[in-house]
Structure 1
């Protein structure tokens, strides 16, 4: 777990009953916890002034305390933050000794919330109206500083529902050789993104061997297995938490924790690769997720049809669009005391300051303008772009300098040369890359038409559901796209071009007359219906219906 974790775990241990041993262990735990080296603290019911001091420290440092033993009872009276009861109940509580029932009751008295599984086990010993909160683990595999939007948004929406969220960073585990060192800048940047959410924490599983050696296949495999096993230790201590899987790589996590957690596979993309061996691994891993998760969701009809040979999805849910960022007109400053001076200097400019710079750049681009927002990768049909740009010399084509190299470049051909080829045209304009939603919004507003020029000879593209579609829709832009399956559902707003000639025809037709206000109104409504909030709400509602 990262050093700034907002959650402490409190458990019971008999060994702390022993007078001298107990005091020594309390002092040791106090030192380790005060230096952010442990998050799990063991105590006993026996009074001890050092224990009281330790509990006071927990109250000051953590926002939440997860009570992992019913035996803690009245000891919880010294914990002043929000206590969540998440403990396993002895079989048939009514037949237990008076002391056990006494401890359970007092543990509940001092708890503000209880996890669903604990509440279920308590049965008649707890009111049905007692507040619940889920503990949800969301693994992710990108660099923490540039975490995928679907992970970021899912975590935010689940947190807004009052759940306790742990983002599990497999891309940057904690080396056991660097436990005493500060968190990396990448982890600090991610924590800064969630600074307004006390109920979101970053969990870094341990790696056994130095991370810098992960370039060697065997070392990478050993660290991957070790990190997964370390996560399983946490899952085992919790009372059937929710494991929210968004990536095919999460099959290992589910395989190790299938009997310990409630598994959800939230399928957000068509996972495949140009490397046949790698594609086979991805396919087998995703098949395991689909068949073995307790719940399985897809975000498009195209994915539903492709995956139904393995299992019928529990629901087709909204795609996920960041309505909040696109409706906001200003953003808060992002400085944080946990970030280094250089990072604060980078993040210190407000997003509005950056917006002013981009407005000057965009004002110099001639109209009409056709544009694409997103990474320039192997997924783009550069031959198509080359032809269309040359066919329409009086139309400006706008892209961002967001180039993302992947291993597929070796198979598809040198990416930089393809990008340089379209840069040679005088009617092509590149603006600096940005992650600022206000700037993305301003860039799209420069467009008369939004384009999605994916190469649909790749199944990954053919069955995709580009997030940028609803960004274009929200801002009322007509769209021209290659024949992506899911986009065929929107013929009124998305013109599908199979050839260069069809693309040229669609662009000319759309530019020849104003885009109807009624179309723009309907597009915005579609975007709002596909918000992240509505997606997460649909998933949680389906789960609640099954539980009831």
Structure 2
């Protein structure tokens, strides 16, 4: 089987930050399967964006074919990538997210992809789109099977508020054109059926790279002098964090150090966090370094919003990473935590949250076979589903 994957994130971003997102983990696993070839259609970009964000990133891959704005790279024997660098810098600056919608439907890109399919002998292939903005590409490239990975509900993200009409259009196209969808939470399944009526949705939850988060670790320099116990959060600072809830917990536990690691996606959310003396933000970390931080947390938390209007139907990757590191995990309901209550502590009351933080019980509530939650098994679930069609 040959597979075309349209990830949400730019391959340069993945190289810069590490394989830490769902799409990156999927591709990492696809690249290890010798019985299939995978073609990545990278996110369109411009020279300006590369200069501003990824100037140190270089693709040291073999060039198989090149034409105008497009290049076909060979990453390894069974992994290829189409990269497109458009000259339309002003258009990208003005149109922002709509620019990506436009470029994924670019006639030149579509023709180049079809040429590449002939060059690398993709006579019969399956398309997996993990990108809400790439619906025109999926719609216009022929394949025997079309799948959409609806890993989060993008209609709930404030950052896409101005292009929400286009996101609804994308979901509706995916519902009509795809043989089936996959998603990472039961909550998403019911919500997507109700909103967009796709043919079929299958649950494939997130997972964990077990080897990265188990075993010994070094103590990172910037965490060495932080007073213990350390309560850690590793993830994006976004609208998903329940700031009033978190602020109450911070104030009620001055004897605990709260260490946050990850990208700040929403600056307004970060500004609202009460910067108490026991709050430490250590910035974003490469995914190769990040496990050392998790292993050096004493307790791990996921203080996310619980209101339906604010949740995006996520299945928290960090929960599995915390568990793989054998950490005590406390979080609010939703985001897959309530389904793992055998192993994690779940409460929506900040006072009770503090009580659990300070309880003598350490580590996972019950013994877990974390191998059953690996990315390798998740990808095999997907391939099994594809083969059944």
Q: TM-score, normalised by structure 2?
A: 0.79
> In structure 2, what is the equivalent of residue 362 of structure 1?
223
**What's the CA shift for 1:189?**
5.6
SS in 2 for 1:434: coil
Q: 1:145 aligns with which of 12, 16, 19?
A: 12
| Structure 2 segments unaligned to the other structure (5+ residues) | 15-19, 49-53, 63-72, 118-122
Q: Within 5 Å, which residues of 2 pair with 1:31-70?
A: none
How far residue 294 of structure 1 moved from its aligned partner, in angstroms, is: 2.1
Relative to structure 1, the CA distance from residue 403 to residue 539 in structure 2 (aligned partners, 3 Å threshold; closer, same or farther) is closer
1:245 is displaced (CA, Å) by 0.5
Query: What is the alpha-carbon distance in structure 2 between the residues aligned to residue 531 and residue 296 of structure 1?
Result: 21
1:157 aligns with 2:29: yes
Aligned residue runs from structure 1 range 265-304, under 5 A: 265-272=148-155, 273-274=157-158, 278-304=163-189
> What is residue 479 of structure 1 aligned with on the other side?
329
Rg bigger for which structure?
1
Return the alpha-carbon distance in structure 1 between the equivalents of residues 60 and 182 of structure 2: 26
CA shift, 1:450, in A, is 1.0
> In proportion to residue count, which structure has more helix?
1
Match of 1:430 among 255, 261, 281: 281
| Match 2:110 to one of 219, 228, 232 | 232
Are 1:385 and 2:246 an aligned pair? yes
Taking the aligned partners of 1:277 and 1:220, their CA distance within structure 2 comes to 10
After superposition, give the CA deviation of every residue in 1:467-494 in whole Å (9 maximum; x if it has no partner).
1010011112222212215221122223
Q: Matches of 1:456 and 1:168 in 2, distance apart?
A: 35
| In structure 2, C-alpha distance between the alignment counterparts of 1:475 and 1:218, rounded to whole Å | 39
After TM superposition, the structure 1 stretch with the greater mean CA deviation from structure 2, 361-370 or 469-478, is 361-370
**Do structure 1's residue 404 and structure 2's residue 244 form an aligned pair?**
no
Residues 459 and 157 (structure 1), Cα distance of their counterparts in 2 relative to 1, 3 Å cut: farther
Name the residue aligned to 2:94. 216
Partner residue in 2 for 1:311: 198
Is 1:167 the counterpart of 2:21 in the alignment?
A: no
User: 1:205, 1:228 within 8 Å by CA — same for their partners in 2?
Assistant: no
CA contact 1:159–1:200 (8 Å) conserved in 2: yes
Q: Are 2:128 and 1:250 aligned?
A: no
In the alignment, the residues of structure 1 paired with residue 24 and residue 310 of structure 2 have an alpha-carbon distance, to the nearest angstrom, of 22
User: What are the Cα deviations for residues 142-167 of structure 1, in whole angstroms up to 9, with x where unaligned?
Assistant: 34322362222212212222222222
Number of aligned positions between the proteins? 359
Name the structure 2 match of 1:188: 58
Q: Aligned residue for 1:542?
A: 385
Contact 1:137–1:166 at 8 Å: present in 2 too? yes
Q: Is the 8 A contact 1:165 1:199 kept in 2?
A: yes
CA distance in 2 between partners of 1:465 and 1:289 (Å) = 21
Structure 1 residues not aligned, in runs of 5+: 1-132, 176-183, 330-354
Give the aligned partner of residue 51 of structure 2: none
Alpha-carbon distance between aligned partners in 2 of 1:306 and 1:220, rounded to the nearest angstrom: 25
8 Å CA contact retained: 1:318, 1:529: no
C-alpha contact (below 8 Å) 2:179/2:200 kept by paired residues: no
Distance across 2 between alignment mates of 1:191 and 1:141: 21
Partner of 2:371: 528
SS at match of 1:388: helix
Q: Which has the higher contact order (CA 8 A, sep 6+)?
A: 2
Distance 1:417 1:168, change over 3 A: same
Query: Would the aligned equivalents of 1:205 and 1:230 in 2 still touch at CA under 8 Å?
Result: no
State the Cα distance separating 1:360 from its structure 2 match.
3.8
SS at match of 2:58: helix
* 1:312 Cα deviation from its structure 2 partner: 5.8
In 2, Cα distance between equivalents of 1:166 and 1:173: 21
Per the alignment, residue 497 of structure 1 pairs with 347
Higher strand residue share: 2
SS of residue in 2 equivalent to 1:165: strand
**When the two structures are superposed, what TM-score results if normalisation uses the length of structure 1?**
0.58
Q: Sort the Cα spacing of 1:190 and 1:211 in 2 relative to 1 into closer, same or farther, 3 A.
A: farther
Residues 391 and 206 of structure 1, relative CA distance in 2, 3 Å threshold: closer
Residue aligned with 2:106, SS: helix
In structure 2, do the counterparts of structure 1 residues 389 and 243 end up closer, same or farther at CA, with 3 Å as the change threshold? same
Say whether the 8 Å CA contact 2:42–2:84 is kept in structure 1. yes
